Amino acid sequence: AFFWFCGVQGPSIVQPAVVPIMIANTAANLQQYQAGQHVSHVLAMNTMDYVMNFGGTGSTFVVAFIMLFAARSAQLKAVGKAAFVPCTFGVNEPVLFGMPIIMNPMFFIPFLATPIVNVCLFKFFVSVLGMNSMMYTMPWTVPGPIGILISTGFAPLAFVFVLLTLVLDVAIYFPFIRVYDSTLLAEEKAKEEVIEDDGMAVLASDTVSPSIPTGLTVATATDDDATHVLPETAPSAHGEAYFKQNEVDVLVLCAGGGTSGILANALNKLSKERSLRLSAAARAYGQDMDLIKDMNMVILAPQMESMKGNLKKITDKYGVKLVTTTGRQYIELTNNGDKALDFVESNL
């Protein structure tokens, strides 16, 4: 979590040191269970996936739901709507980069403390209360509450552990989210007042200034249309025409294939709806890298920025365009198909 907070893909650095131990412990746990013994090894594969990374690094399972149901600012409400489904399945980049949590001092303490609390609680349930530890290895994308129950063999205490974990995680994150949400809400209200004042000023000048062209329509921005008044948010006819005339293949790469799939699906959906000659694929970094030679562009998700140098050697070899994105930009591209098209077209 500390590496992630600094903008570096933490699991890629930490996992090589601990995965062999966790694999061995998971096998030992299953042997204990089959022998009728207490399943006692805490550090197992799914302990990392479902307890420490409860909804993703930083144990952010509850964060998206807090924003969805309790946030008052438009920004956090929007992030909550976009993030609650991915976070349920352990893909929490929309939260990490959309709030953002990454490099945001407001969330340094809960982002690091919540996984520690979860693991210590799990240790207490296993070593003191006698609950079975993880004895199976389920895919990391299984929702944490379900994965914990299955991997512990539906131990009765596991149901209590899941409920207590949810309560504790909400208790840890909620105060920090509330303070941050209040800050964003105040900023949004200040911007609305500025927009309203500017709009009234333009309308007032329209009544006295003959230099303003007749037929010009001036409208004040409301909550519903404030994000659509800038010209760059309008669909680009040029970008869409480009993809009707040119066949373009795009590969999106991230750490585990989940984040990249969100952007690739957004591009493919829009391409199908508008009959464009654009095709996007999503992969985890290091998976099916031979696909690069058949691509026109490779988009590297923000959490994999540290791998840009190595990847550029491959893309340069095949004459493929490599582009990177910032966290907020990546989230915006996944939510706005027209901007994603313009992003690909302009970089090509």
Under 8 Å between Cβ of 134 and 152 = yes
Residue 197 burial class via C-beta count within 10 angstroms: exposed 0-12, middle 13-18, buried 19 and up: exposed
- DSSP letter, residue 48: I
**Side chain identity at 294, as an amino acid letter?**
D
Q: Is 87 a catalytic residue?
A: no
Q: List, in order, residues 6 or more apart from 312 with CB less than 8 Å away.
A: 322
Under 8 Å between Cβ of 100 and 106 = no
Task: State the Cα–Cα distance between residues 334 and 271, nearest whole angstrom.
Answer: 14
Q: List, in order, residues 6 or more apart from 172 with CB less than 8 Å away.
A: 110, 113, 114, 117
Q: Which residue, 248, 315, 265, is CA-closest to 285?
A: 315
Which stretches within the chain are classed as H helix?
Answer: 2-5, 10-34, 45-46, 61-70, 74-88, 93-98, 108-127, 144-151, 156-206, 237-245, 258-273, 308-318, 327-335, 337-347
Q: List, in order, residues 6 or more apart from 294 with CB less than 8 Å away.
A: 249
Q: Which residue, 296, 297, 293, 295, is CA-closest to 318?
A: 293
- Which helix (H) or strand (E) element contains residue 279? strand 278-284
Nearest 5°: phi and psi at 66? Answer: -60, -45
Tokens for 274? 């508008």
Annotated catalytic sites, by residue?
254
